Amino acid sequence: MTASNKITITTPDDWHLHVRDQEFLSSVLPDSAKRFARAIIMPNLTDPVTTTDRAEEYRNRIIDALPNEYKLTFEPLMTLYLTNRTNASEIKKAINSGFVHAVKWYPAGATTNSSQGVSDIVACYEVLETMQEEGMPLLVHGEVTDPNVDIFDREKVFIDQFLTNIIKNFPKLKVVFEHITTEHAVTLVESASSNVAATITAHHMLLNRNALFKGGIRPHHYCLPVLKREEHRKALIKAATSGSQKFFLGTDSAPHTKNTKENACGCAGIYTAHGGIEFYAEIFDKADALNKLEAFASFNGPDFYGLPRNKSKITLTRKQTDIADTFPFGDEVCVPFRAGEKLAWSID
Please give the positions annotated as active site: 252
Residue 142 or 294 having the CB closest to Zn ion: 142
C-beta separation of 94 from 127 below 8 A = no
Cβ neighbors of 170 (< 8 A, separation 6 or more) are 128, 129, 132
Q: Which is nearer to Zn ion, 41 or 65 (CB)?
A: 41
Residue nearest to ligand NCD as judged by C-beta position:
269
Cα distance between residue 200 and residue 106, in whole Å: 17
Residues that bind ligand NCD (CB under 6 A): 18, 44, 111-112, 141, 223-224, 252, 254, 268-269
The answer to the question of residue 252 lying near Zn ion (CB under 5 A) is: yes
Minimum CB distance to Zn ion smaller for 271 or for 345? 271
Tell me phi and psi for residue 313, to 5 degrees.
-130, 160
* Contact partners, residue 248, CB within 8 Å, separation at least 6: 15, 197, 198, 199, 200, 296, 297, 300, 301, 304
3-class SS letters over 224-245? CCCCCCHHHHHHHHHHHCCCCC
Q: Is 323 left (phi over 0), alpha (psi -120 to 50) or beta?
A: beta
**What secondary structure letter does DSSP report for 212?**
G
Q: How far apart are CA 92 and CA 89, in angstroms?
A: 5
Task: Give the sign of the dihedral formed by CA 182, CA 100, CA 29, CA 241.
Answer: positive
Q: How many CB atoms lie within 10 A of CB 204?
A: 24
Determine if the peptide bond prior to 225 is cis (ω within 30°): yes
Dihedral through CA 167, CA 172, CA 177, CA 183, nearest 10?
Answer: 60
Residue 84 site contact among Zn ion, ligand NCD, none (CB < 5 to 8 Å, cut-off depends on kind):
none
Our CB check for ligand NCD shows the closer of 246 and 261 to be: 261
Q: Which is nearer to Zn ion, 250 or 290 (CB)?
A: 250
Of the candidates 253, 281, 277, 259, the residue with the CA atom closest to the CA atom of residue 337:
253
Decide: 213 and 220 in contact? Cβ < 8 Å.
Answer: no
Tell me whether residue 270 or residue 290 sits nearer to Zn ion (CB atom). 270
What b/e string do you get for 24-58 counting C-beta neighbours within 10 Å, with b at 16 or more? Answer: bbbbbbbbbbbbbbbbbbbbbbeebbbbbebbbeb
- Least Cβ distance, residue 117 to Zn ion (angstroms): 12
Binding site for Zn ion (CB under 5 A): 252
